[in-house]
Amino acid sequence: MTTETVRFTDLALSEPVLKAIADVGYEQPSPIQAESIPHLLNGDDLLGLAQTGTGKTAAFALPLLTRVDMKLKTPQILVLAPTRELAIQVSEAFQTYAKHMKGFHVLPIYGGQSFDTQLRGLRRGVHVIVGTPGRVMDHLRRKTLDISNLKALVLDEADEMLRMGFIDDVEWILEHTPKERQTALFSATMPKEIRRVTKRYQRDPKEVSIASETRTGENIEQRYWMVSGTNKLDALTRILEVENTDAMIIFVRTKNATVELAEKLEARGYAAAALNGDMNQQLRERTIERLKNGKLDIVVATDVAARGIDVVRVSHVLNYDIPYDSEAYVHRIGRTGRAGRSGTAILFVAPREKRLLHTIENSTKQKLSRMELPSGEMVTQQRTDQFKQTLLDTIAKTKELEFFDEMLASFSHDHNVSPEQIASALALLAQKERPLQVEFKNVKAYNERDDRSSRSDRPERGNRGERGGERGGERGGRNRSSEVESGMQRYRIEVGREHECRPGDIVGAIANEANIDSKNIGHIKLNDSFSTVDLPEGMPKEMFQTLRNVRVRGQKINITLAQESDSKGEAPKRGADFKKKPRGDFKKKRTFKKRED
Ligand code: AMP
């Protein structure tokens, strides 16, 4: 059986877990799941090379849940994650998959949340803990977390933990867990440090990865849109308005999503239908037939249901949810550009799925071009053109207009209004809920800076083991210049080298305690008694307040705007470096290459 044909029911997962999968509407295990689940069920250690978006969370959660002993009320599974966001997300995934396991409890534990809340949760009896390394270590030290019955430990996004300076904490935890535990490590890249950890702490791990080389057709134009500021549904409808489409296949991940999205598109006036594995063969064939003969313009499908569709008028494939790997991507986009025609493939990429985009580009050996959403003017232009065409078509219906000609002529005379005024008023009325003139507000969340280079262009940083040169004080990455990058602001924090602070400590504390995505944390400069850190502009007040109380190395950081303290005469002391460097220098230094060992 190839991984492509494996079904969830072929895997020895427990009944309650299978039931939960059916509820969420997963049709088929993703490749990483099909490969990992049997090993983890078997009790083997696992080394998974997989990034976000591949379905890696379920790849470990489903088999480990199957192995949970519900009678035991102490933690049996511990997942370590680099950030509080991820810890919460993984914990929610466990909750979803354990929906039918009566009395099941999972608890996320991370910095920034009160110990008391976590202690209450722990006392209630939990089966799974998902936590950030620092806080887990604190609990273990205080003996408030009993892991004597731990069966499995998962290191999720191990390379991120390394990058954020958590590797010592992770190793400390590994040293303090039962020796006979099972260990699964997932990482998007395999730097040497991670290899070393697996060698030292894993027993003969089974290796799984999703990398494969695949080719895409040259007649297909490939673009991606980085999801930000606008939700995916609005983005899709904007694209549908402006893009010159004939028929489109939209790919989503679950059966439920095919139905939901098709319904939403229908409600917006599109001829759309769902296509999924729950539909019988006859119904599926009928749907494809309707797409062929133009009764439908959009089919919203899962990978399984759309396999092999050959409809020449499919001009566009839109990957609403990113595929699990490049192979699935190639299958999907191959639904357009049939019979020698040209086609367009559009991919929606959430900021956290950027790595998967790189994987797709690397294994298909093709770059996707970044697209912006159509602007308000473009949509206005399109709607105006359509409206004008409708007017011309209606004016041609002279016979049917006679009654209105007379009525409006007398109206014009009686009320002394010009024909233009009447026409404008009617046009305004004709718009209904779909105004011709469109203006989009593009609101970007503070935490949603989506600079494509921000993640991949940075070398690993904050790694305690290998940062011999750290005393230089620069966070080894992103921007070694002292110039504040545009869109960023420089803050001063009252912790520095004399507190034995390292850049990784700062990144970890800020990311976890204030819930700022680590990729949004810019240049860090360590000085003796204080440091500076660049953060995105426009920090919300509450976040600023939270940050003021954050402690690094036991030291309250008392964050202030660096420029502010500068102008107040509290000028940065020894070692601070606020001079602007020439632009050229800055640019040159920005071109750090990704270091993926
Ligand atoms: P992850 O890579 O774990 O972050 O998962 C990415 C997304 O894929 C999540 O939204 C999951 O709900 C979804 N997902 C995971 N496994 C499957 C599956 N077998 N079928 C459909 N969706 C899935």
pLDDT confidence tier of residue 211, bands split at 50, 70 and 90: low
Based on the domain organization, do 119 and 148 belong to the same domain? yes
Based on the domain organization, do 33 and 149 belong to the same domain? yes
Rounded CA gap, 127 and 550, in Å?
Answer: 30
pLDDT confidence tier of residue 188, bands split at 50, 70 and 90: confident
Q: What is the mean pLDDT of residues 291-302?
A: 96
Which residues have C-beta within 8 Å of that of residue 90, sequence separation ≥ 6? 57, 61, 79, 81, 108, 130, 156
Q: What percent of the chain has pLDDT over 70?
A: 85
Based on the domain organization, do 338 and 392 belong to the same domain? no
Q: Which ligand 1 atom sits nearest the alpha carbon of residue 8?
A: 19
Query: What pLDDT score does 196 carry?
Result: 93
**Does any domain span residue 456?**
no
Task: Look at residue 314 and tell me whether its pLDDT is greater than 70.
Answer: yes
Q: Is 16 in the pocket of ligand 1 (CB under 6 A)?
A: no
Question: Tokens 């230094």 appear where?
Answer: 589
Based on the domain organization, do 27 and 128 belong to the same domain? yes
Query: What pLDDT score does 53 carry?
Result: 84
Query: What pLDDT score does 210 carry?
Result: 72
Query: Measuring from atom 6 of ligand 1, which residue has the nearest CA?
Result: 53
Is the separation of the CB atoms in 128 and 79 below 8 Å?
yes
**Does any domain span residue 85?**
yes
Query: Measuring from atom 13 of ligand 1, which residue has the nearest CA?
Result: 55
Is the separation of the CB atoms in 477 and 506 below 8 Å?
no
Q: Which ligand 1 atom sits nearest the alpha carbon of residue 30?
A: 19
Query: What pLDDT score does 575 carry?
Result: 33
Based on the domain organization, do 497 and 574 belong to the same domain? yes
pTM comes to 0.63
Task: Look at residue 351 and tell me whether its pLDDT is greater than 70.
Answer: yes
Based on the domain organization, do 403 and 491 belong to the same domain? no
Task: Look at residue 111 and tell me whether its pLDDT is greater than 60.
Answer: yes
Task: Look at residue 312 and tell me whether its pLDDT is greater than 70.
Answer: yes
**Ligand 1 centre and the CA of 157: distance in Å?**
15
Residue ending a domain, choose from 164, 182, 209? 209
Q: Is 56 in the pocket of ligand 1 (CB under 6 A)?
A: yes
- For residue range 469-494, what is the model confidence (pLDDT) as tens digits? 333 334 434 334 467 777 788 999 99
Query: Measuring from atom 16 of ligand 1, which residue has the nearest CA?
Result: 55
- For residue range 383-432, what is the model confidence (pLDDT) as tens digits? 999 999 999 999 998 899 999 999 999 999 999 999 999 999 999 999 87
Parallel/antiparallel/unpaired status of strands 555-556 and 531-536: unpaired
**Does any domain span residue 329?**
yes
Based on the domain organization, do 188 and 121 belong to the same domain? yes
Is the separation of the CB atoms in 289 and 222 below 8 Å?
no
**Does any domain span residue 86?**
yes
- For residue range 355-386, what is the model confidence (pLDDT) as tens digits? 899 999 988 888 999 999 998 899 999 999 99
Based on the domain organization, do 274 and 295 belong to the same domain? yes
**Ligand 1 centre and the CA of 77: distance in Å?**
20
Q: Which ligand 1 atom sits nearest the alpha carbon of residue 50?
A: 2
**Ligand 1 centre and the CA of 245: distance in Å?**
29
- For residue range 147-177, what is the model confidence (pLDDT) as tens digits? 999 999 999 999 999 988 899 999 999 999 9
Choice among 102-111, 201-210, 446-455 with the minimum mean pLDDT? 446-455
Task: Look at residue 48 and tell me whether its pLDDT is greater than 80.
Answer: yes
Beta strands in 429-574 (DSSP E): 488-493, 524-526, 531-536, 551-552, 555-556, 560-561
Based on the domain organization, do 184 and 129 belong to the same domain? yes
Task: Look at residue 63 and tell me whether its pLDDT is greater than 90.
Answer: yes
Task: Look at residue 465 and tell me whether its pLDDT is greater than 70.
Answer: no
Rounded CA gap, 448 and 355, in Å?
Answer: 16
Rounded CA gap, 348 and 261, in Å?
Answer: 15
CATH of residue 517's domain is 3.30.70.330
pLDDT confidence tier of residue 583, bands split at 50, 70 and 90: very low
pLDDT confidence tier of residue 462, bands split at 50, 70 and 90: very low
- For residue range 507-537, what is the model confidence (pLDDT) as tens digits? 888 877 766 777 778 888 888 889 999 888 8
**Does any domain span residue 446?**
no
Residue of 13, 57, 354, 355 best suited for mutating to test ligand 1, as the one with most atoms within 8 Å of CB: 57
Cα dihedral 54, 60, 63, 66 in deg (nearest 10): -120
Tokens standing for residue 310? 């050959």
- For residue range 540-560, what is the model confidence (pLDDT) as tens digits? 777 788 788 888 877 889 999
Q: Is 26 in the pocket of ligand 1 (CB under 6 A)?
A: yes
Based on the domain organization, do 265 and 407 belong to the same domain? no
**Does any domain span residue 440?**
no
**Can you name the residues that pair with 299 across neighbouring β-strands?**
249, 273
Q: Is 277 in the pocket of ligand 1 (CB under 6 A)?
A: no
Based on the domain organization, do 147 and 269 belong to the same domain? no
Give how many domains the chain has, as a whole number: 4
Q: Could you give the angle at the alpha carbon of 186 between the alpha carbons of 222 and 476, nearest 5°?
A: 80
User: Nearest-CA neighbor of 164 among 518, 550, 547, 530?
Assistant: 518
Structural domain containing residue 310: 220-374
Q: What is the mean pLDDT of residues 75-98?
A: 95
Q: Is 31 in the pocket of ligand 1 (CB under 6 A)?
A: no
Query: Measuring from atom 1 of ligand 1, which residue has the nearest CA?
Result: 55
Query: Measuring from atom 12 of ligand 1, which residue has the nearest CA?
Result: 55
Q: What is the mean pLDDT of residues 187-206?
A: 93
Query: What pLDDT score does 591 carry?
Result: 23
**Does any domain span residue 437?**
no
Based on the domain organization, do 368 and 387 belong to the same domain? no
Which is more confidently placed, 208 or 505? 208
